[in-house]
Chain A
C-alpha cells in the first residue's frame, strides 16, 4: 500500500517513527534529505524490520544496526562521530548505573546492620515481654511497663491537646456562642486534669522519672519545677491575654498571683529541706568505710516523700487553673487556654529546632 498519500504529509523527521510507513525507503530518504536524524543518546529504529538486508541480530545493540544503514548515507563522517558519541554515552551510563547500584547495596547492608544493633539495644533496655514503639527522648535506664504505658498515653494526650488548640483558634476567629465556648473551655480544663492524674499514677511507679520531666522535650525541661510547669509562670504567660479586665477581676487576679507565688515558694522550700535531709542521710556515718546499708535504708525512707511533693506541685497547678477559670469570663478563659496551649507548642518546637541546629557541623 502506498502510504505517502497526498492528503497527509507528515514532516520528514517524524517518518522514522511511523511504523506503518515503508521502513526502507523512508529511512534512506530521511538520511538523504536531512543529513541524518539527531536522536540524543538513543537510536530509534522503525519497528518493521526491513525485509532483507537489515540485520536480525540485536545482541550488539542499536549502534550496530545503524552502522548498516549509515554505510549507505551520504555523510559517513558525521555518522561515525555520532555513533562514537552514542557508544561513549552508553558506556558512561552503564558505569553510572553500576556505581549507583553498588551504593544501594552498601546502604542496604548498613541499614540491616543498624536495625540489628537497634534491636539488641532495645532488648537490653527492657524487662522481658515489654516493648516501646516510640520514645521521643531515647532512654538508657530500664523502663517499667507502667512508664511505657504513661509515655504512650502522653503521646495521645499531646495529639488531643494540639487538636483542641486548633479548634479553639478556629472558633475564636469566628463567631461562636458562649455555650459552645464553655464546652470547649471545660474540655480543655478536664484535659489538663487528666494529665495530672496520669502523672500521679506514674509517680507511684517511678518518681524520679516524673521529677526529671523525662517525657517532656528539652526546652520544657529547662523550665521544670517539681515535675511540671511553675504555676506562677502559667499566670505570667496568660495575664497579657485577658485585657480588658473588670475591676473585680483585676483584684482577684492580683490576689491569685500573690497567693500562687507564696504557695509555690513554700513548697519549693519544703523541697529544699527534703534535699538537705536526703543528703544528710546519704552522707551520715563514716564516708569511706565501704559499708553503707543503713544510710541507704534511711535515704529510701526519705525518698518516699518525693511522691507527695510531686502530687502537691500538681495540686498547685490544678488549683491555679481552677481559680483562673473562676475569675475569668468564658471568652477570656478560652483565649487564655489557647495562649497557654500555644505557649507549650512553641516550647516543643523550640526543642526540635535546637536539636536540629546542634546536629549541623560547625
Chain B
C-alpha cells in the first residue's frame, strides 16, 4: 500500500501504533530509553486504519501494531524488537538515529 510505503520510508525509526495498544506504548518506552525519538503513526485515528493494518500484516509484521521500521526496512513487531535487543543487534541498527541530547533516565 502506497501510504504505508511512504510513511515507513521516512527517515529514522518509524512505528505504527494504536492509541489503545499498551504493547505499542512499551516499544515506544524502549526506544526512548535507547535515546531514539521515533516517528509515531497512530493508525486508529486514520480513516484508512483497516487498510493500513492489512498492509502491515501483508508486509510480514507478526501483529499489525506495533510495526517498527528502521531506515525504511521492516524490523517487525514487539517480539522481533525484543529479540533483537536482547541479542545486542538492535543498538547497532538504530545507532545513526540515537540522539546525544535526549537523555533517558
Residues of A302-317 contacting chain B, CB below 8 A: 302, 305, 308-309, 312, 315-316
- The reply to whether the CB of B23 lies closer than 8 angstroms to some CB of chain A is yes
- Per-residue CB proximity of A245-284 to B under 8 Å, as 1/0? 0000000100110011011011101110110010000000
22 contacts between A and B (CB under 8 A): A256-B86, A259-B91, A260-B86, A263-B30, A263-B86, A265-B29, A266-B26, A266-B27, A266-B33, A269-B26, A269-B29, A273-B25, A277-B20, A302-B20, A305-B21, A305-B23, A312-B23, A312-B26, A315-B83, A319-B82, A319-B87, A320-B86
Interface of B is mostly: helix
Give Cα distance in the complex from A270 to B25, angstroms.
Answer: 6
In the complex, residue of chain A having the shortest beta-carbon distance to the beta carbon of B28: A266
**Which residue of chain B is the closest to A324 with respect to CB atoms?**
B86
| Contact residues, B30-77 vs A (CB, 8 A) | 30, 33-34, 63
Q: Is the CB of A315 within 8 A of B82?
A: yes
* Bound form: Cα–Cα A278–B83 in Å: 28
Residues of B within 8 A of A (CB): 20-23, 25-27, 29-30, 33-34, 63, 78-79, 82-83, 85-88, 90-91
Considering the complex, give the chain B residue whose CB is closest to the CB of A315. B79
Distance in angstroms from B94 CB to nearest chain A CB is 12
A266 in contact with B86 (CB, 8 Å): no
User: For residue A326, which residues in chain B have a CB less than 8 angstroms away from its CB?
Assistant: 87
Closest B residue by C-beta to A306? B22
6 smallest CB-CB distances across A and B, nearest first, come from: A270-B26, A266-B30, A274-B22, A266-B29, A319-B86, A266-B26
The reply to whether A263 and B23 form a contact with Cβ atoms under 8 Å apart is: no
Q: Say yes or no: is A80 at the interface (Cβ < 8 Å to chain B).
A: no
Whole-angstrom distance from the CB of A236 to the nearest CB of chain B?
A: 16
Q: Is the CB of A271 within 8 A of B22?
A: yes
Q: For the complex, is A135 an interface residue (Cβ under 8 Å from B)?
A: no
Chain A, Cβ-Cβ closest to B27 = A266
The tally of residues in A whose CB lies under 8 Å from a CB in B reads 28
Min CB distance, A253 to chain B, in Å?
A: 11
B91, closest chain A residue (CB)? A259
CA distance A256 to B86 in the complex (A): 6
Q: Assess the A308–B86 pair: CB atoms within 8 A.
A: no
Residue of A nearest to B87 (CB): A323
Contact between B29 and A308, CB atoms less than 8 A apart: no
